[in-house]
Structure 1
Amino acid sequence: MTKTVVELSKLTRSFTQGGVTIDVLKGVDLTIMPGEIVALLGPSGSGKSTMLQAVGLLEGGFGGEITICGRSAEKSDGDARTALRREHLGFVYQFHHLLPDFDARENVVLPQLVAGVPRKDAETRADELLSALGLAQRLDHRPSQLSGGEQQRVAVARALANKPELVLADEPTGNLDEATSDRVLDEFLRLVRGQGSSALIATHNERLAAKMDRIVRLHDGLLEQG
């Protein structure tokens, strides 16, 4: 039987502001299979980022169950959750969050070194990814020397560097113009599919979502399939 990459069961998240409780997630159920690319659609403020933070094990305060590659996050302590993130997950954010004092290659090498990959192998992997993304001539450029689209390509390479089973992307092209957005997303999807990873990609753009395998919609704290 094929193991799922992600299983969410009755996922909830509430926030209290000014004495008022706001229920952002009200019992979300979702299963993602190996190699599946899922678009998470919803308008700004619908809770897409909150849901990705839950799946990414980036903060606590969530109710329900989260299972990553067969391992229960609820039954894992802090160190085990960190290991889950490091071993199975990759992240692409709307803002690239590159390290400004390191060049493109180094930004992709560093997460591999953290995972225990030898530097030479990490540099080879970084060069392969960045070249596949059209950045072969920009390997030694720092983020300040790159355009917005180039910076986001580096962020994509960084997310894929350790060949995660699941890539989480939060509006990964939200700050790019339409033409650049299309190019970056197409390159991203091609690489994700090429290495057999799954992805959950949050967006409010129906046209971009249509490029993915399946669409789920976050509405009033619940997921609607299709």
Structure 2
Amino acid sequence: MSNPVVDLRGLTRSFTQGGVTIDVLRGIDLQIMPGEIVALLGPSGSGKSTMLQAVGLLEGGFGGEIAICGQRAEKSNGDARTALRRDHLGFVYQFHHLLPDFDASENVILPQLVSGVPRAEAEERAKELLTALGLGHRLTHRPSQLSGGEQQRVAVARALANKPELVLADEPTGNLDEATSDRVLEEFLRLVRGQGSAALIATHNERLAARMDRVVRLHEGKLH
């Protein structure tokens, strides 16, 4: 049997505001298997983004155990966390966060170059992904020349460029209208499944969550 891509055990996170401690995550246990697409469902403010930050090794302050692709990460140093993110994870956010001075293709090429992929191979991978997302005619357009849906498609391509074992997505279509949201999510899920990646996708949309392999609900700091 395969090992989990994500293995969370007793994950906790608290914040102190005005002398009051707020327990955002209260003992989260979650395993995600290779190729599995899991929806993390919960209303705004329920802690979905905080949980994704934990899984993505984006900040410290968490209690419990975090293992990514079999590697314990909760106590690893900054360099080790950076290597785990670079080698195993891809990220899609509600806002695309594209580099404005680079065109669509370059935004997808750059993370591959950082990972040591040869330029020619990176260019071919970028073209392949963007074409699959319906942007074959927009490769040389900068973000300011693209619609919101097109920008988010570039962000999806960038997240998948290095074929990560795990893709983390935080309300990836939350900034789009319903019709565009449906199209982008469909393309996203198709590509994730096509390359065999696992995914944890935070959303408050029940209809979108139903299209994924499994739904977990975050309520009062616990998963249900």
Fold-level similarity (TM above 0.5): yes
Amino acid aligned to 1:74: E
Map of 2:7 onto structure 1: 7
SS in 2 for 1:28: strand
1:64-83 deviations in Å (ceiling 9; x for gaps): 00000000002422111110
Amino acid aligned to 1:220: E
Map of 1:65 onto structure 2: 65
Distance 2:77 2:152 in 1: 32
Amino acid aligned to 2:202: A
SS in 1 for 2:116: coil
Distance 1:154 1:51 in 2: 24
Amino acid aligned to 2:167: V
Map of 2:81 onto structure 1: 81
The question of 1:135 aligning with 2:135 is answered yes
Map of 2:192 onto structure 1: 192
TM superposition outliers: structure 1 runs of 4+ over 4 Å? none
1:107-140 deviations in Å (ceiling 9; x for gaps): 0000000000011100000000000000000000
**Mind listing any 5+ residue stretches in structure 1 that lack a counterpart?**
none
Map of 2:147 onto structure 1: 147
TM-score by length of 1: 0.98
Map of 1:25 onto structure 2: 25
Map of 1:208 onto structure 2: 208
Amino acid aligned to 1:47: G
SS in 2 for 1:141: coil
TM-score by length of 2: 0.99
Amino acid aligned to 1:141: H
Question: Which deviates further from its counterpart, 215-224 or 71-80?
Answer: 71-80
Distance 1:73 1:167 in 2: 17
Deviation at 1:12, TM superposition (A): 0.3
Distance 2:119 2:17 in 1: 46
SS in 1 for 2:223: strand
What is the identity percentage for the equivalent residue pairs of Structure 1 and Structure 2? 86
**Mind listing any 5+ residue stretches in structure 2 that lack a counterpart?**
none
Map of 2:102 onto structure 1: 102
Map of 2:46 onto structure 1: 46
Count matched residues: 224
Summarize the alignment of residues 141-180 of structure 1 with structure 2, pairs less than 5 Å apart.
141-180=141-180
1:133-160 deviations in Å (ceiling 9; x for gaps): 0000000000000000000000000000
